[in-house]
């Protein structure tokens, strides 16, 4: 029994990533595996801490924006009462925060500072969202983010629309609560109404996270996968909120030590967990959309230079083969699915080949949100030697003082061997290399 349990444990921890079966059980195990691993991932912990710091810088401008819009809708008092209800032990700290917000809005509406204040407010929030996009793009293996113009337009829309949605949702919940109680003035229905409104609030949280995972990464994210991640992240966020609110009674002990600053350490802890949940949900969104491309994780971390070089050549060979056979170019994700390759390695190879001028990104008519990969030069001239030469030229060289003088014999030997390899590889055209397809997934 113990041996069987250990076997299942080893399978769930490591072995599942080498299991290429496409079944519901395997999918669930991989998702649960990623849920735990991503939450404790050291990189996500570090990025969550960085975003926590960025959020502290943006919290006053963000509250100012929310309250400015709330005044326009007449919901400012509702927002304040909700914050007071959410943090009953920190009314003094919240009152000071509201004072800062009122001062910020008052200064931003006077004289020349009105323009500077709006610019600073938008820049702070856009900078925060830009850092979130960088984190999501790293998770998705995307090397290029939005252009400056797209950042200005997309992020401005996000920071203006989301507060309105939050305010409207709060107003709708309050309106629904009072309206339903007026229509159905029965005491025994109150628990059901409260449960219904709580569930509605949870659904709005799910949709908020779903929209975050769909809109912020600079790639096409399917709604189904974003919604799955949004449900899991939104539920975890709601549980965190419940734990945080339930523990407010113990905050009074910290008030005796920190005074009005007792809110600060709790705020930092809460923000850290919120960003960790958000980033972990981003990993789940990526993996659920590319669950079978996320395989061989442990092997990828230990991949040899020779095998990585062969995979890079394979990506280039696929692009040349499809061009010669007049087939539409594949996107990195399509290539990973079609040939059973890990998406992280395909994205890395595509980025290097693009920088080397061997591949170019082209618009794919049936998938306009993600660029396909096509040869950037005449495929009939692309040889293994050319790929080796161009990839070897990428990056900085000869920046260490006196390196070539001290190791001149080694440098000469390496350069001579490299020239011999390039000369030998120049005789092998990629267009002459055939891709075997004997199974459901093409094997390179």
Where do the structural domains in the chain lie, given as residue ranges?
25-289, 297-395+402-432
Q: How confident is the model at residue 113 (pLDDT cuts 50, 70, 90)?
A: very low
Average pLDDT over residues 252-258: 58
Q: Are 348 and 334 in contact (CB under 8 A)?
A: no
The pTM score is 0.64
Q: Are 299 and 293 in contact (CB under 8 A)?
A: no
* Residue 441: per-residue pLDDT: 42
Collapsing DSSP to helix, strand or coil, 361 comes out as strand
Burial (CB < 10 A; 0-12, 13-18, 19+), residue 439, is: exposed
Q: Are 20 and 292 in contact (CB under 8 A)?
A: yes
CA-nearest of 103, 98, 60 to 80 is: 98
Q: Which residues of 244-261 are buried (b: 16+ CB within 10 A; e: fewer)?
A: beeeeeebeebbeeeeee
Average pLDDT over residues 323-328: 90
Collapsing DSSP to helix, strand or coil, 429 comes out as strand
Between CA 248 and CA 253 the distance in angstroms is 10
203-235 tens-digit pLDDT: 888 888 898 898 888 888 889 889 988 998 989
More confident residue, 84 or 343: 343
* Residue 105: per-residue pLDDT: 64
pLDDT of 372 above 50: yes
pLDDT of 243 above 70: yes
CA-nearest of 100, 96, 90 to 263 is: 90
- Supply φ then ψ for residue 359, to 5 degrees: -120, 155
pLDDT of 425 above 80: yes
Q: Are 255 and 89 in contact (CB under 8 A)?
A: yes
Of the chain, the percentage scoring pLDDT greater than 70 comes to 66
pLDDT of 331 above 80: yes
Angle among Cα 221, 293, 128 to the nearest 5 degrees reads 40
More confident residue, 155 or 49: 49
Q: DSSP code of 327?
A: P
Average pLDDT over residues 376-403: 88
Q: How confident is the model at residue 333 (pLDDT cuts 50, 70, 90)?
A: confident
pLDDT of 168 above 70: no
Between CA 100 and CA 38 the distance in angstroms is 37
pLDDT of 44 above 70: yes
Between CA 139 and CA 147 the distance in angstroms is 19
Which ranges of 247-365 would DSSP assign to H, the alpha helix? 251-258, 263-289, 297-301, 305-324, 332-339, 343-355
Average pLDDT over residues 39-66: 77
Among the residue ranges 85-89, 105-109, 291-295, 373-377, the one predicted with the least confidence is 85-89
418-426: Cβ within 8 A, 24+ apart: 418/388, 418/392, 421/385, 421/388, 422/385, 422/388, 422/389, 423/385, 424/385, 425/383, 425/384, 425/385, 425/386, 425/387, 425/388, 426/383, 426/384, 426/385, 426/386
* Residue 248: per-residue pLDDT: 59
Q: Share the mean pLDDT of the chain.
A: 76
Class of domain 297-395+402-432: mainly alpha
* Residue 369: per-residue pLDDT: 58
Of the chain, the percentage scoring pLDDT greater than 90 comes to 11
């Amino acid at each position: 029994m113990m041996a069987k349990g250990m076997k299942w444990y080893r399978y769930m921890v490591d072995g599942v990533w080498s299991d290429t079966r496409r079944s519901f059980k395997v999918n669930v195990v991989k998702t649960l595996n990623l849920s735990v691993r991503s939450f404790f991932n050291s990189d996500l912990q570090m990025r969550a801490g960085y975003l926590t710091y960025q959020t502290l810088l943006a919290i006053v401008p963000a509250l100012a924006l929310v309250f400015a819009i709330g005044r326009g809708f007449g919901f400012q008092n509702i927002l304040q009462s909700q914050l007071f209800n959410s943090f009953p032990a920190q009314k003094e700290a919240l009152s000071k925060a509201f004072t800062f917000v009122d001062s910020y809005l008052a200064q931003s509406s006077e004289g020349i500072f009105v323009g500077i204040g709006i610019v600073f407010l938008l820049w702070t929030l856009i900078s925060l969202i830009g850092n979130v996009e960088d984190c999501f793009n790293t998770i998705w293996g995307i090397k290029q983010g939005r252009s400056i113009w797209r950042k200005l337009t997309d992020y401005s829309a996000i920071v203006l629309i989301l507060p309105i949605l939050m305010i409207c949702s709060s107003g709708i919940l309050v309106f629904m609560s009072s309206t339903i109680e007026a229509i159905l003035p029965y005491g025994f229905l109150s628990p059901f109404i409260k449960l219904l409104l709580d569930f509605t609030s949870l659904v709005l949280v799910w949709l908020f996270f779903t929209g975050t995972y769909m809109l912020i990464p600079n790639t096409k994210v399917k709604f189904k996968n974003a919604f799955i991640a949004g449900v899991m992240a939104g539920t975890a966020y709601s549980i965190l909120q419940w734990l945080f609110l339930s523990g407010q009674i113990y905050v009074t002990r910290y008030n005796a030590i920190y005074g009005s600053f007792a809110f600060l350490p709790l705020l930092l802890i809460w923000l850290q967990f919120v960003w960790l949940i958000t980033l972990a949900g981003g990993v789940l969104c990526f993996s659920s959309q590319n669950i079978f491309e996320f395989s061989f994780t442990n092997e990828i971390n230990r991949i040899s230079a020779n095998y990585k070089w062969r995979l890079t050549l394979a990506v280039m060979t696929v692009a040349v083969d499809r061009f010669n056979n007049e087939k539409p170019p594949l996107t990195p994700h399509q290539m990973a699915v079609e040939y059973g390759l890990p998406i992280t390695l395909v994205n890395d190879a595509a980025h290097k080949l693009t920088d080397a001028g061997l591949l170019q990104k082209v618009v794919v008519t049936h998938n306009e949100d993600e660029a396909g990969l096509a040869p950037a030069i005449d495929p009939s001239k692309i040889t293994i030697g050319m790929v080796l030469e161009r990839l070897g030229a990428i990056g900085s060289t000869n920046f260490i003082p006196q390196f070539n003088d001290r190791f001149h014999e080694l440098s000469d030997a390496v350069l001579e061997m490299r020239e011999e390899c390039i000369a030998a590889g120049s005789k092998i055209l990629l267009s002459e290399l055939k891709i075997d397809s004997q199974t459901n997934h093409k094997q390179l």
